Amino acid sequence: MRFPRRRRLHLSILLLPAVLLVGTAGARAAVPARIVSTNLCTDQLAVALIGTERLASVSFLAADPTLSNVVDAVRDLPANHALVEEIARFDPDLVLAGAHRERRLNDRLRRLGYRVHALAAPNSLAELRRAVTDLAAVLGVPERGAALIAGMERDLAALAADAGAARPTALVYRPNGYTSGAGTLVDEVMRLAGFDNLAARSGVAGGGNLSLESLVVAAPDLIVFDNPGERGWSLAQRLQAHPVLDRLRPGTRFVALPGRLWVCAGPWIVEAAARLRAARNR
């Protein structure tokens, strides 16, 4: 049935408030108010962007001071172990999770009707910028995301501007000889700090293992260990305390950076770059 033009105009005017009301309600509903984070990296980025007021639960790893930069902030929040039963108890309107290890969990949550934002681990500063921008939009704080990125880039640019011409070699050496080569955020941060990443020079692409023999032959100017004060507590870490490493001194320096600065990408990589720069200057 087709109404006369004047009547159609009257109907449009009458329906306009209802349309505006529905649009406003939809916009409000899009901003999550009860958020459950099941992944250490989403825990930390969420806290950096919105604090803890809208977080109903975070992963149990957020309370581990060797891995997390937000221990004090999440102290009073319930922890979860990425189990559907735990998540459902909080009736979240948004679940933040990792994109890879938690893929099956994410699929199951979506089938149950939950809204899920999956974060892929950034392998570069460009990917980190996109990850923060996307998450900030989902959380309804795009301006906060832009400010976080701007501050991080400003601080990193200041470090890079003072790099100088000389580029000593450095190697991040984690438990079991795990290291970060070309195409990783760690490699990019090391270069910004004024180092030549020995793992990348040795042909390691992405993450990989470097034997103790290869390390000794390469004799980098700097070796970076994880978690100061905890070397040797596991078999995997005993490699970092091998007596042969002492033979590299005094030509090789050693520095310990907290693992929390490397485990997840975020604004705390500025601290990692600054500590590396301080080690280079020394």
pLDDT in tens, the chain (282 residues): 454 544 444 444 444 444 444 443 343 447 999 999 999 999 999 999 999 999 999 999 999 998 999 999 999 999 999 999 999 999 999 999 999 889 999 999 999 999 999 999 999 999 999 999 999 999 999 999 999 999 999 999 998 877 667 889 999 988 888 899 999 999 999 999 999 999 998 889 999 988 888 888 888 999 998 765 444 456 656 666 777 777 776 778 888 898 899 889 999 999 999 999 998 887
Pairing between β-strand 253-257 and β-strand 55-59 as defined by DSSP bridges = unpaired
- State how far the Cα of 97 lies from the Cα of 108, in Å rounded to an integer: 12
DSSP 266: S
Using the 3D structure, point to which of 67, 101, 120 is the last residue of a domain. Answer: 120
**Do 82 and 189 reside in the same domain of the chain?**
no
Q: Are residues 164 and 259 both part of a single domain?
A: yes
pLDDT value at residue 73: 97
Residue 191, number of CB atoms within 10 A of its CB: 17
Quick one: 169 and 236 in the same domain? yes
For the chain, what is the domain count? 2
Tell me, yes or no, whether 225 lies in a domain. Answer: yes
Check whether residue 105 and residue 41 sit in a common domain.
yes
pLDDT of 235 reads 60
Q: For position 261, what pLDDT does the model report?
A: 92
End-to-end CA distance of the chain: 83
Give the type of residue at 171: L
Residue that is last in its domain, among 120, 146, 166: 120
Residues 75 and 180 in one domain: no
Query: Do 48 and 94 sit in the same domain of this protein?
Result: yes
CA angle 152, 144, 273 (to 5 degrees): 15
**Triad 255, 235, 81: Cα angle to 5°:** 90
Query: Cβ(170)–Cβ(196) under 8 Å?
Result: yes
Residue 189 is encoded by which pair of tokens?
Answer: 């941060």
Q: 96 with 169, same domain?
A: no
Question: What was the pLDDT predicted at 164?
Answer: 65
CATH number of the domain at 112, please: 3.40.50.1980
- Considering the domain architecture, whether residues 47 and 110 belong to the same structural domain is answered as yes
Q: State the residue range of the domain holding 199.
A: 157-281
> 80 near 57, Cβ under 8 Å?
yes
Residue 14 pLDDT: 46
